[in-house]
Structure 1
Amino acid sequence: MNAAFNKNIYFLSDFHLGSPNAAVSLQREKRIVQFLESIKNDAEEIFIVGDMFDFWFEYKYVVPRGYTRLLGKLAELTDAGIKIHFFVGNHDMWMRDYFQTELNIPVYFEPAFFEFNGKKFLVGHGDGQGPGDHGYKLLKKIFRNPVCQWMFGILPPYVGLGIANYFSQKSRELANKKEEVFLGEENEWLIIYSKEVLQKEHVDYFIFGHRHLPIDFTLNENSRYINLGEWINFDSYAVFDGTITTLKYFNK
């Protein structure tokens, strides 16, 4: 994909709205909306790189309750002509067509290439990429299976969403117990994955989420790996100004 560069390109990820409870999630949602409001005048495009929600499932005629402030802001931005891209994460992979039809936001299920002002980007959530994590990769195939999605979809929303939110919360609690530290380039799966891609083609910037740790790592003299962190503890994001991509923090 190619796009002419006019203003800034923004990348952010891992809001996990809904976690750990409605009150805390609402404050985070308001902060994200405040950030989006602050960039609306200089944003050419915005990439939301997965796990916007701690859980999301689109029934045919039912949309999960809540998040009206954020969804309304996204609609406002796309109505104003700002292009927004959404990549599904491991917590909100059960997307259908709600974002496309209601918000005019394309949804991506796999990493995708983009080019801005002569710079090549590979953007994706990052789950299941690189070596290891074989248990999750198998689980991801099951969750992405249309039959499994149909079976979950025939459950009444009250039952299905209740079960899913319970396990989603447990997953987040387990992840929160792990200390988020840089493991070194030999142990960071997304760095390994980025190096594998570079053996086949040049990429200026690898932009991922999922890791929950803001990382700006130089792969070689022409390529960098940037992990966007998350909005639970860091409020971190990246911005490309036409020349360079910078990892930043909102209101820090």
Structure 2
Amino acid sequence: MNIPKGKKIYFASDNHLGAPNKKASLPREKKFVAWLDEIKKDAAAIFLMGDLFDFWFEYKTVVPKGFTRTLGKLAEISDSGIPIYYFVGNHDLWMNGYFEEELNIPVYHKPKEFTFNDTSFFIGHGDGLGPGDKGYKRMKKVFTNRFCKWLFRWLHPDLGVKLAQYLSVENKLISGEEDAKFLGEDNEWLIQYCKRKQSEKHRDFYIFGHRHLPLEIALENNSKYINLGDWINYYTYGVFDGTTMELKTYSHQFK
């Protein structure tokens, strides 16, 4: 993808809309929508890196209630011709066509490589990658199993969504999250993952979410691992202008 002069690529991750409840989530959603409204003026593309929602499950004829502001803004931006790419996270594993059909937004379930102006990017949410985290990796296999998803779909949405929201907040094994504290390069599984991928093939940037920490870590051969942070505590996002990749903070306030 060639980035036209004056245009930029934007990256954001881990909004967890709906958590811990609708009232607390609403100001964060309004802030995110305001950010989308601002960046559409010079966006060549937008990458949403997972966990936009704290829970998302698509029944055949039902999707979770709410998030109208966000979905409407994404539809508007997509309809205007600005491409949006979505990478599912550990809280929204169960996407099954709604974003593609209603919003014209492609959805990816695994990391993917992109090239912008001859600069290579390896992009994904980040859950279950690298060494360790074996408990979550086993749980993820259950969540993505077709039979298990079929069983869950038989629960009435009022019951299924309520149960999943409770587990999302209370069970850290299911959420796949650790406390958002930097553990050091040797103990950060995503950094270890990026180092291994870099030893196999050079990429200029590795862009991930999931850790809820804004991080910029230098790798070998002038490569860099960037974690996008979140839209709960940091309101950080990434922007690539065709030459430079930066982490920035959105400061607009909503109540």
CA distance in 2, matches of 1:15, 1:91: 11
Q: Which residue of 1 aligns with 2:216?
A: 216
Q: Which residue of 2 aligns with 1:152?
A: 152
CA distance in 1, matches of 2:178, 2:85: 30
Deviation digits for residues 175-194 of structure 1 (CA, Å, limit 9, x no counterpart): 8x965322111111111000
TM-score norm. by structure 2 comes to 0.94
Which of 2, 5, 22 aligns to 1:4? It is: 2
Q: Which amino acid aligns with 1:204?
A: D
Q: Which residue of 2 aligns with 1:65?
A: 65
CA distance in 1, matches of 2:126, 2:180: 16
2:168 is the counterpart of 1:181: no
CA distance in 2, matches of 1:196, 1:221: 13
Deviation digits for residues 154-190 of structure 1 (CA, Å, limit 9, x no counterpart): 1111111111111112147x98x96532211111111
CA distance in 2, matches of 1:48, 1:156: 29
2:83 is the counterpart of 1:83: yes
CA distance in 2, matches of 1:158, 1:180: 31
Shift of residue 139 of structure 1? Answer: 0.6
CA distance in 1, matches of 2:65, 2:102: 15
1:119-138 correspondence to structure 2 within 5 Å? 119-138=119-138
**Structure 2 stretches lacking a partner, 5+ long:** none
Q: Which amino acid aligns with 2:140?
A: K
Q: Which residue of 2 aligns with 1:14?
A: 14
CA distance in 1, matches of 2:128, 2:206: 15
CA distance in 2, matches of 1:75, 1:179: 34
**Fraction of identical pairs, as percent:** 55
Shift of residue 97 of structure 1? Answer: 0.3
TM-score norm. by structure 1 comes to 0.95
Contact 2:198 2:220 in 1 (8 A): no
Shift of residue 118 of structure 1? Answer: 0.5
Contact 2:14 2:210 in 1 (8 A): yes
Q: Which residue of 1 aligns with 2:55?
A: 55
Deviation digits for residues 172-230 of structure 1 (CA, Å, limit 9, x no counterpart): 7x98x965322111111111000000111010000000000000111124200000000
Query: CA RMSD for the aligned pairs?
Result: 1.5
Q: What is the total number of aligned residue pairs between the two structures?
A: 248
CA distance in 1, matches of 2:168, 2:178: 16
Q: Which residue of 2 aligns with 1:237?
A: 237
Q: Which residue of 1 aligns with 2:96?
A: 96
1:19-34 correspondence to structure 2 within 5 Å? 19-34=19-34
Deviation digits for residues 3-24 of structure 1 (CA, Å, limit 9, x no counterpart): 1112100000000001011111
> Which stretches of structure 1, 4 residues or longer, exceed 3 Å deviation after superposition?
none
Q: Secondary structure at the match of 2:232?
A: coil
CA distance in 2, matches of 1:113, 1:132: 24
Q: Which residue of 2 aligns with 1:198?
A: 198
Q: Which amino acid aligns with 1:23?
A: K
2:163 is the counterpart of 1:163: yes
Shift of residue 145 of structure 1? Answer: 0.6
